[in-house]
Homo-oligomer: A and B are copies of this chain.
Amino acid sequence: MPVLVMKFGGTSVATLDRIRRAAKRVGVEVAKGYDVIVIVSAMSGKTNELVGWVNETSPLYDAREYDAVVSSGENVTAGLMALTLQEMDIPARSWQGWQVPVRTTSAHSAARIEEIPPENIRAKFAEGMQVAVVAGFQGVSPEGRITTLGRGGSDTTAVAFAAAFEAERCDIYTDVDGVYTTDPRVSSKARKLDRIAFEEMLELASLGAKVLQTRSVELAMRYKVKLRVLSSFEEQSDDAGTLVCDEEEIMESNVVAGVAFSRDEAKMTMVSVADRPGIAASIFTALSDAGVNVDMIVQNIAEEGRTDMTWSCPVDQVKRAERAISAAKESGTINFQELIADEDVAKVSVVGIGMRSHTGVAAKMFQVLRDEGINIKVITTSEIKISVLIDRKYMELAVQALHDAFELDKAA
């Protein structure tokens, strides 16, 4: 029988009532003839409680013990979901990560899934079990200790099971009803997309649209797992939500799929750097070692052996970046005149696989911003994305204007 993977996030299993509602959705798919693998998160709030206890006990905790404690939330939901399904006369049982087993690396709290042998669960399906409920977010290391995959890891668990079981689809039930052309709270014209390409979703996920964990989208793309994002709080038809899929499966699409934004950015400029081969490596190694997540980088043309270097990073990492750069200056690694931080910027991006074949998207974007009187501070581009840094106060205006100009409120 075909396998379907269904993943329910923390808000979708927050109470016994919500678990029942989720179980009813599972029942609908079982009735269609699927063998269903359900991946569950911890009841919302539980993981935060456990993380809080660990942090209070041991601020520099042993990640192996962190994982042993924090993984327990998913185990509770898995058992309760199995019991709920049994009450509905659906043969089901729960599996903890080590029982499957979900084999991962030993990188505790940020482990990667290496292998999911499907034999144990397949054998149960063959015996008549209809639903395998699996605790998400967790696995077991080669040393036999419990690992976790990092925040949002249950999405990754779901996609990895879909790949291992060659599932027909992986449905991610969450508290939004799909992926939008932009955040509906910023533009009232935001439209839910029926389909979006993996590459577009990856850009949107990493740009701040918090629907899916980036790693899960990467994994889905690599293994060609059809991902569907949909709401657990609405009655669902077969084509509800948004399907994240291969671009070949999208017949018609707008050149631009969506407008993403990231509010809390900072722009830092190092003025009059003594230019020499390897200077960029010195600067960005120092920042990386200090744990600064550098995003955009721009280097001006050098004049008379000196250049300006600009980068962006999250605004709450500015102090850390300043300390790292000061230390590098004192040690003589870097020579520059001044370091200027602009902590009032935001990033706005247009994303779409159509850009590969359509020219003029960048030009149109810059015109729209110019017409609104918005100054562009930094530009970066990829094959399917153009990002700009602008003053934060213009962020909403820019998103709305771009959404209008690219007619994202209309389907292709």
Contacts and interface: CB of A to CB of B under 8 A. Distances in A.
Interface of A: 16, 19, 50, 53-54, 56-58, 61-62, 64-66, 68-69, 72-73, 75-76, 78-80, 82-84, 86-87, 93-94, 96, 98-99, 144-146
Contacts of A57: 16, 19, 80, 83-84, 87
Contacts of A94: 65, 68
A163 to B, nearest CB: 24
Nearest to A55: B83
A61 B66 CA distance: 30
A75 to B, nearest CB: 5
A69 B58 contact: no
B79 A66 contact: yes
B75 A62 contact: no
Nearest to A74: B72
20 contacts: A16-B56, A16-B57, A50-B76, A53-B80, A57-B80, A57-B84, A58-B84, A58-B86, A61-B83, A62-B93, A65-B82, A65-B93, A66-B79, A68-B96, A69-B75, A69-B83, A72-B72, A72-B75, A99-B144, A99-B145
A79 B62 CA distance: 10
A81 to B, nearest CB: 9
A69 B61 contact: no
B79 A54 contact: yes
A57 B19 CA distance: 9
Contact of A80 (B69, B75, B76, B80): B69
Nearest to A69: B79
Given A53-B76, A54-B83, A65-B79, 6 more contacts: A54-B80, A58-B86, A65-B80, A65-B82, A65-B83, A65-B93
A67 to B, nearest CB: 8
Given A16-B53, A57-B16, A86 B68 contact: no
A73 B79 CA distance: 13
A68 B79 CA distance: 6
A16 to B, nearest CB: 6
A18 to B, nearest CB: 12
A64 B99 CA distance: 13
Contacts of A16: 53, 56-57
A54 B61 CA distance: 32
B58 A83 contact: yes
A145 to B, nearest CB: 8
A13 to B, nearest CB: 12
A344 to B, nearest CB: 40
Contacts of A50: 76
Contact of A58 (B64, B72, B87): B87
A229 B83 CA distance: 38
Nearest to A80: B57
A75 B83 contact: no
A1 B58 CA distance: 28
A86 B69 contact: no
A53 B17 CA distance: 11
A195 to B, nearest CB: 37
Contacts of A58: 83-84, 86-87
A109 to B, nearest CB: 13
A356 B144 CA distance: 52
B68 A75 contact: yes
A137 to B, nearest CB: 14
A76 B76 CA distance: 12
A50 B96 CA distance: 17
A54 B76 CA distance: 10
Contacts of A146: 96
A82 B65 CA distance: 7
A62 B83 contact: yes
A200 to B, nearest CB: 39
Nearest to A98: B98
A75 B54 CA distance: 13
